[in-house]
A and B are shown apart, each in its own frame.
Chain A
Amino acid sequence: MTLEHVGDAAELYALGALDAGEAEAYEAHLRLCVNCAAQAAGAERDVALLASIEPRHEAPPELAKRIEGILRTDASGAQARSARFSWPAAAGLAAAFVAGLLPSLYFWDQNQTLRGASLAQSAAMARLAAAPHRMAVFRTAPGVAPAEVAYAPDGSWYVVMVRGASKTLTVAWMHDGERTMLGSAVPHGAVAMLYLPKSHRMNRLALMDGQTIVADAQLTW
């Protein structure tokens, strides 16, 4: 199931109606196929909607502690496993990893990131084509690619675009002397885009390279 598209299993998976083996194979496929992952996301949204009519119960406080414990235990377990590692074996393994596996993983990871960026770009373009919007231009530091933000007149969505971007930039909302990170504009082709569905009006956005603000835009309403 990992090699062929399995989009027609999306609803069954989201409803929990696949057999255990089928569900496991489907999940493995979703980690490799962005098209089927998008279909699964749609089916999960529909099932979550159906689940919204179910009775709601408050989670017991002890469950939060239990989950924090799992995260802590696993993190310290990983450190302990790391400490027990045999150095000669580790050196050999590391050499093999660097020579063979690491480049593949790097390119696979890059591919996944670009596919995600491509999807985000498609969503943003659809929004720009279909809905009335306003534009604001970022004031950029020297050497930073030109950028602008398109936004809905009621503040319900924003699309940040960086033209000719060579690196990922973080988009931040500047307000009340604070900055709130909203997401990353990942380069895909000649442009980096970030689509932000929001429900309020933001007056000032910034682009950040690491911890440094490299561009700033004032939005008018």
Chain B
Amino acid sequence: MDVVSKERTSDNALAAAFAAHQAWAFGEAYRRNASLLYSAAYNVLGNSEDAQDCVAEAMARLWRKPRAYSAARGDLRNFLAVCVRNEAISRRRRMSRLRHVEARLAAMPAEHAELAFDDPIERDRVRRALFELPAQQREALALAFYDGKTHTEIAAELGQPLGTIKSRIKLGLRKLASALEPASRGEDRR
């Protein structure tokens, strides 16, 4: 909250109202994160119609399941982004529209006229950290994140035991977060 947004409800108060299942909080949570949520769906599904269906369905599901979110789940924005992504991944699995991992990584645009980014410097830093992961961890993480595959599917595709895949994904994600820790988990980060 800053001077410009002084009349807005604080993020903490919004999260509390969202957890208390207040309708205004659902509407406000969507408005504050509309671009993030729509992008999370669009980047998995690849078209606007499916992305809109996905966000609407994810928000409706949360609205109909009052105890889905609580303070223990942490930042509401992250929670909503993961809910929408997971809904998008489920939809894509159902539609069997999978894309190839390395092609997606290689084709990731550095910049595009139609796109608006929150913080280009931070984004480049995350991308570099991703490429610095050990190849096996990056491969498993990318198959999960970019191709939306389940750990069972990844294990079958890579011909590795399920436990190995779980471990690679977990280590990869934690290593990535750890590499980004100084800026991403600083004093002011919420």
Which residues of A approach B to under 8 Å, CB–CB? 8, 11-20, 23, 27, 30-31, 34, 37-38, 40-60, 62-64, 66-68, 70-71, 74-75, 112, 115-116, 119-120, 131, 152, 154, 156-157, 173, 175-176, 178, 180-184, 196-200
Contacts and interface: CB of A to CB of B under 8 A. Distances in A.
A156 B90 CA distance: 39
Contacts of A184: 16
Contact of B48 (A19, A56, A60, A67): A60
B64 A34 contact: no
Nearest to A40: B73
22 contacts: A12-B144, A16-B82, A17-B144, A38-B72, A38-B74, A41-B75, A42-B74, A43-B173, A44-B79, A46-B174, A49-B177, A49-B184, A56-B115, A57-B114, A57-B116, A63-B55, A112-B70, A156-B187, A176-B6, A180-B1, A183-B10, A183-B16
A59 B67 CA distance: 26
Given A47-B85, A182-B10, 9 more contacts: A12-B166, A46-B173, A48-B82, A56-B117, A116-B71, A119-B71, A154-B187, A181-B10, A196-B12
B59 A67 contact: yes
A20 B176 CA distance: 26
B150 interface: yes
A48 B145 CA distance: 11
Chain B interface mostly: helix
A108 B183 CA distance: 38
Contact of B173 (A34, A40, A47, A156): A47
A66 B48 contact: no
B44 to A, nearest CB: 8
Nearest to A66: B56
A203 to B, nearest CB: 13
Contact of A16 (B43, B64, B90, B108): B90
A118 B144 CA distance: 34
Q: Which of B115, B148, B149, B177 has the most CB atoms of chain A within a 10 A radius of its CB?
A: B177
Contacts of A27: 68
Contact of A55 (B13, B30, B43, B124): B43
Nearest to A41: B74
